[in-house]
Amino acid sequence: MVSAALVLGACGSNGGGGGTAAGGKGAAASGGKGATGGASAAAPTGEPIKLGMINQENTPAGSFPEIRQAAEAAVAYLNGKGGIKGRPLKLEPCITQGTPEGSAACAEKFAASKPVLVMPGVDFGSAASLPILNRAGLPYVGGVPLLPPELTAANSYTFVGGSASAFPSQAVYLAKELKVKKVNILYTDNPAGANAAKAFGADILKANGVTDVQLIPEKADAADFTAALTKTAQGKPDAIMVLFAGQGCSRVMQAKQATGVKAMMFYPGSCADEAVIKAGGAGAEGAYFNEETKLYDDVKDPEVKIYVDALAKHAPDAKKSGFSQTGFGAVMNIAALMEKSTGEITSKSMVAALAATKNTPNFMAHPYTCDRKQVPGLPAVCNAFSRIVQYKNGQIVDKLGKWINGFTGQSE
C-alpha cells in the first residue's frame, strides 16, 4: 500500500480558491438536452442505463466515499434533467477495501450483471479487477488513475492523468515559467517513489533544461522531516519537489517552518487538503500544488456551480474536493457521450465513442482525447494537463489561469 499511497498524493487537490479555468467549454456548458440541459425535464422512464463503480472505502489504507457520493449526485442531477434519451441512469457501486480479493470480487459481480461500463473511484486493487473486466468486455472509464494497471490497461480510459500528470506539470512550470536552475526532490524511500522521482520529476526537469537535480529519499512513516528537509535544502535549490502524501506533506511543511528553508516548495495536489494545510501550520504558506480540475469554489464557472449545487442537493455530506470533482465529472462526460450516440448504448458503442474523441469537452477539466497516444507508454490517459495553484493568505489561488502538460510542455 505504500506505493499506492505515494502516487495517491499526486492527484485530487482539495484546494478551493479563486480563478477561472482555461481550456474551453465543458459538457455542462455545451447546451442540448438530457446530460447537458439546463431546465428540468420529464422524469426518465424505461430500462435504466447501468453504470458500475468500484470505489475504495472504510479502510485505513485510504477511504474515498466522496467520489462515490459525487457520482451518485451527478446521476441524480442528470435524472432530474430527463436522464439519457429519456431513460434513467443507475449507478451500481461496489465498495472495496483496496485488496486484490475485494477488487476482483467487485469485477466478478459486474462481469455477471453487465453494466454498460465500470467507473473506478480510487482502487488500490485495480491490478486484480481490470483483467476480469477486460475479459467481460467492460470498459473502465474515469476515476483517479494512480497505479500502472489503470494507466496502461487496454480497457482503461481516464479523463484526468492522475499520477502521470501531477509531477510532470510541476516540472514544466518550474522550468518554463519560473526558469529555475536547481531543483531537489524529496521522495518516498521505496521503489515506486524512486521511479516517480526520476521518471516524473528529474527526467522531465532535465528535458526542459534544468540539469542540476538531486534526489533525496526519506521513509514514508518518518515522524520528523527536519533532517531530511535540511539535507534536501543543501546547495540552496531554487525549489524543492515533495513526493509524499497526507501527513508526510504536513510534516515537511512543519519542517520548513522549523528550519527556515527559503526554497519554493511544490507538493502533490492531494496535499492541498484543508486538514494537511492546517497541520502544516505556518510552513504551508506559499506552498505550490498541482490541480487537475477547476477550483471547486469558483462558482462563477457554470460547471463548478452545477457540481456544487448538485452536491448540496443530492449529497450534502459529500466532501467538496478534487477527488469528488473527478467522480462527478466522469459521470457527466459519460452521459454526454451517451447523449450524442445514435444507436443502442452498449459497452462496445461506448468504447467506439471514446476512441473517436478529440479535444472533447471535459467536465471541470481540460478537454480530452482518448486516442491511446496522449502520453507515451501510458495509453489509458486521455488528458495529461494540470494547473498550478498556490496557498497564500489562507486561499488557494491559480497561478497561471491555464493548463500545463508535463509531457509535451504545452500550456493553454
pTM: 0.87
What residues are paired with 117 via a beta bridge?
51
Residues 6+ apart with CB under 8 A from 106: 52, 54, 94, 95, 96, 129
Residues 6+ apart with CB under 8 A from 344: none
Per the document, the length of the chain is 412
**44 & 192 share domain:** no
CATH code at position 201: 3.40.50.2300
Report the C-alpha gap between 185 and 239 in whole angstroms. Answer: 9
**59 & 142 share domain:** yes
| CB neighbourhood size of 206 (10 A) | 16
Distances in Å between the Cα of 18 and the Cα atoms of 30, 75, 147 are 23, 27, 31
Domain housing 86: 13-163+297-381
**62 & 185 share domain:** no
Q: How many domains does the structure of the chain reveal? A: 2
Report the C-alpha gap between 136 and 134 in whole angstroms. Answer: 5
**190 & 52 share domain:** no
Report the C-alpha gap between 306 and 29 in whole angstroms. Answer: 10
**157 & 178 share domain:** no
The three-class DSSP label of residue 347 is helix
Residue pLDDT tens, the chain, 412 long: 334 544 555 555 544 443 333 333 333 433 334 444 455 678 999 999 999 999 999 987 778 899 999 999 999 999 999 999 999 999 999 999 989 999 999 999 999 999 999 999 988 899 999 999 999 999 999 998 888 899 999 999 999 998 788 899 999 999 999 999 999 999 999 887 898 899 999 999 999 999 999 999 999 889 999 999 999 999 999 999 999 887 899 999 999 999 999 999 999 888 888 889 999 999 999 999 999 999 988 999 999 999 999 999 999 999 888 889 999 999 999 999 999 999 999 999 999 999 999 999 999 999 999 999 999 999 999 999 999 999 999 999 999 999 999 999 888 9
Torsion from C-alpha of 47, 53, 59, 60, nearest 10 degrees: -150
Q: Report CA Rg, the chain.
A: 20
The three-class DSSP label of residue 20 is coil
Mind spelling out the 3-state secondary structure of 213-225?
EEEEEECCCCCCC
- Cα 263 to the chain's mean position, in Å? 27
The three-class DSSP label of residue 76 is helix
**140 & 243 share domain:** no
**37 & 155 share domain:** yes
